[in-house]
Amino acid sequence: MDVNEDSLQTARKTFPSRAFVRGNAESLPFADESFWRVVSNLAVPYMDVPVALAEMYRVLQPGCEIVISTHSAAFTFSELEHDFHSTAAILYRFYVLLNGVYFHLTGRLLRFSTTRIESFQTRRAMRRALEKQGFSEVRFRFDGRRYMVEAKKNLSLANQPFG
């Protein structure tokens, strides 16, 4: 799934046997509990993270797993370093940095415009956001620029053993 039709066309050519859907992770076009795994590769930094995680939780089956990669502050600082050729780009990178700090402190994000949002993610902010949605067993790996985050959707009360 992607919001960009050009990216979807490339994916369809590369993987012709797979189905691809145009959509937004903040409003997933799938039924509740449709998937046994949700994977997001570096898309979460460009989303309203709490809203997207709520949607991912909704479409994930109980006891199943989410795997996402996110940007660290180090990545955002490196982007700022590369953007020194443009005042507008520098200002935008400062917005991304401030939004990441705001997310770390409050668990919320601010939109840059009606259609654009971006932030970096910290372990603390992601753990809090995932647990707030009902995920558990949150695990992190860090490669110096991004976090790989895994978590499980809790089993519903109906699926848990008595005792």
According to the 3-state scheme, what is the secondary structure of 132-149?
A: HHCEEEEEEEECCCEEEE
Both 72 and 20 in one domain: the answer is no
Both 84 and 15 in one domain: the answer is no
Both 106 and 143 in one domain: the answer is yes
Model pLDDT for residues 25-83, shown as the tens digit of each residue: 999 999 999 999 999 988 999 999 999 999 999 999 999 999 999 988 888 888 877 77
Both 52 and 24 in one domain: the answer is no
User: Would you state the torsion angle of the CA atoms of residues 127, 70, 150, 159, taken in this order, to the nearest 10 degrees?
Assistant: 70
| pLDDT at site 48 | 96
Both 104 and 58 in one domain: the answer is yes
**In 3D, which of 154, 153, 158, 121 has the Cα closest to residue 38?**
153
| pLDDT at site 163 | 43
- Dig out the tokens for 89 from the structure: 């780009």
Both 53 and 115 in one domain: the answer is yes
CATH (domain of 86): 3.40.50.150
| Whole-model pTM over 0.85 | yes
| pLDDT at site 2 | 86
- Supply the DSSP symbol for 33: T
- Residue 16 banded pLDDT, cuts 50, 70, 90: very high
CB neighbours of residue 146 within 10 Å: 20
Both 48 and 102 in one domain: the answer is yes
Both 19 and 49 in one domain: the answer is no
Domain count within the chain: 2
Domain that residue 18 falls in: 1-30
CA distances from 12 to 8, 9, 72, 79, 129 (A): 6, 5, 30, 30, 32
**In 3D, which of 135, 129, 132, 131 has the Cα closest to residue 108?**
129
- Supply the DSSP symbol for 22: B
DSSP percent split of the chain into helix, strand, coil, nearest 5 = 40, 25, 35
Both 55 and 111 in one domain: the answer is yes
CA distances from 48 to 38, 92, 143, 144 (A): 17, 17, 23, 23
Asked if pLDDT for residue 84 goes beyond 90, the answer is no
Model pLDDT for residues 147-163, shown as the tens digit of each residue: 899 999 988 654 444 44
Task: Dump the DSSP string for 88-103.
Answer: HHHHHHHHHHHHHHHH
Both 26 and 52 in one domain: the answer is no
Both 134 and 99 in one domain: the answer is yes
